[in-house]
Amino acid sequence: MKKKIIVANWKMNPDSPEKAREIFAAAVRAARKLKHVSLVVCPPALYAGLFKKPSERNIFLGLQDVFWEKGGAHTGEVGAGMARAFGISYAIIGHSERRRLGETDEVVSKKVLAALQAGLRPIVCIGEAERDADGAYFNFLKNQIRGSLASVRPQQLKEVIIAYEPLWAIGKSFKDAMKPPAVHETAIFIRKVLADMFTVPAAAAVPVLYGGSVDAENAGPIVSEGRVDGLLVGRQSLDSENFPKLLSILNGL
């Protein structure tokens, strides 16, 4: 059975390295005994440098962004190669909170390529801001996927993960998350776009995750009925009580 991928996106939290250590330790404790779950913890870059990749083969470290250049005069940026040297193996790229600050598909595509070249698996975020009755959001998603993956060569696709995060469902209550049938329909659409860009078997092998107001209440149905390969979890990944519950629910699916 393919392991479910759970990405813990801490965003700009917590406010101290002590708390970061506690949250990380709780997540590792919860995930280490699970056979059917892979956990990717993505703390702020500074904290990621505090942690060692745990020896368990189902627990990994990721960043929330990387820059596309290898080095040089780029104040404030962190390179994919630097991340790799710290034992980091994944990078979230094109999160909507970064796109909101001006990150375009073209920028996302450059970062995806830099991540792949450095040996990081890019977790490429896509998602529409709203759903209209005519379904124009499908076109939006298609263009966003095509633009964000424009740099990916066919042989690199197997390293890419797609995180579908409808913006309207992020940062709310679990009741406001997307319902499983709509998740399923969108995941099929995403694979169709990938199949048109690459091949049907290559597209079928790409993990498609859902993100947006996931917690222990809705994680199970979203993955089992929504037929996605895992979840990208924001706020609830900082909750040392609920997050272990969520992991064990997914492990049991």
Q: Where are the alpha helices (DSSP H) in 78-218?
A: 80-85, 96-99, 105-118, 136-148, 180-197, 200-204
User: Applying CB under 6 A, does 218 fall inside the site for ligand PGA?
Assistant: no
Q: Choosing from 97, 128, 165, 217, which is the catalytic residue? A: 165
User: Applying CB under 6 A, does 122 fall inside the site for ligand PGA?
Assistant: no
* Residue of 213, 219, 228, 247 interacting with ligand PGA (CB under 6 A): 213
* Residue of 145, 206, 214, 216 interacting with ligand PGA (CB under 6 A): 214
**Burial of 159 from C-beta contacts in 10 A (0-12 / 13-18 / 19+):** middle
* Residue of 122, 166, 211, 226 interacting with ligand PGA (CB under 6 A): 211
Site for ligand PGA in 134-173 (CB under 6 A): 165, 170-171
Q: Who contacts 95 (Cβ-Cβ below 8 Å, separation ≥6)? A: 9, 64, 65, 125, 165
- 210 vs 55: CA distance, rounded Å: 27
Total site size for ligand PGA, rule CB under 6 A: 13
User: Applying CB under 6 A, does 233 fall inside the site for ligand PGA?
Assistant: yes
- 213 vs 183: CA distance, rounded Å: 13
Sign of the C-alpha dihedral, residues 218, 8, 234, 6?
A: negative
Residue type, 188: I
The answer to whether 165 is a known catalytic residue is yes
The answer to whether 95 is a known catalytic residue is yes
In the complex, least distance from residue 233 CB atom to ligand PGA, rounded to whole angstroms: 5
- Identify which of residues 114 and 233 has a Cβ nearer to ligand PGA in the complex: 233
Question: Which residues are near ligand PGA by CB under 6 A?
Answer: 9, 165, 170-171, 211-214, 232-236
Catalytic residue numbers? 95, 165
